Amino acid sequence: MGTRQADPNFANVQGDRAGKSKDQIHTAANAGIYGENQLDAMENCTMVVGGRGGYAHRGVRDRFQVAPDPIGNDSGTVDDFSFSPKLGLIWRAMPSIQVYGNASGAYEPPLVLDLTVPGQINGDFRRLKAQKSWQFEVGTRGW
């Protein structure tokens, strides 16, 4: 469910390890719950309804702050809650052939790497948003 990783970096001076340039603790956790139900709308037609709720936590604790410069503090966290719905239909065209279609939401929280790569948002994690999209599926099955 969760991970914690230390990330110290050291300067490279002509191939030799020099002074420390970064020291952070990264945390990440995900939790989700999924539910789905199928409802017979007619004798040969079934509706599928469902959804997934999710929680994601990402955090960085900067342990390499150069005093007295508080701007060097790249610590921060972001917590994200999501709901991805699903709606589908199954039509039994014949006893052994089904035609189906689904539409569902998709959600991907940011990675810790998105928070910590040099040149990124430097601690202002509120600006970091999850990816959200819709996916569609249509097909047949049977013989």
The DSSP secondary structure of 101-129, one letter per residue, reads: EEEEEEEEPPPHHHHHSTTS-TT-GGG--
Confidence at residue 117, expressed as pLDDT on a 0 to 100 scale: 64
Confidence at residue 68, expressed as pLDDT on a 0 to 100 scale: 59
* Residues spanned by the domain of 121: 2-142
Confidence at residue 119, expressed as pLDDT on a 0 to 100 scale: 56
Candidates 54, 51, 21; CA nearest to 36 is 51
Candidates 141, 142, 137; CA nearest to 48 is 137
Contact 55, 63 (CB under 8 A): no
What digits encode the pLDDT tens for the residues 105-141?
A: 999 988 777 666 665 555 566 677 788 999 999 999 9
What digits encode the pLDDT tens for the residues 23-64?
A: 778 888 999 999 999 999 899 999 999 999 999 998 888 777
pTM beyond 0.75, yes or no = no
Structurally, the chain folds into a number of domains equal to 1
Q: How far apart are CA 48 and CA 90, in angstroms?
A: 8
Contact 20, 10 (CB under 8 A): yes
What digits encode the pLDDT tens for the residues 74-106?
A: 677 888 899 999 999 999 999 899 999 999 999
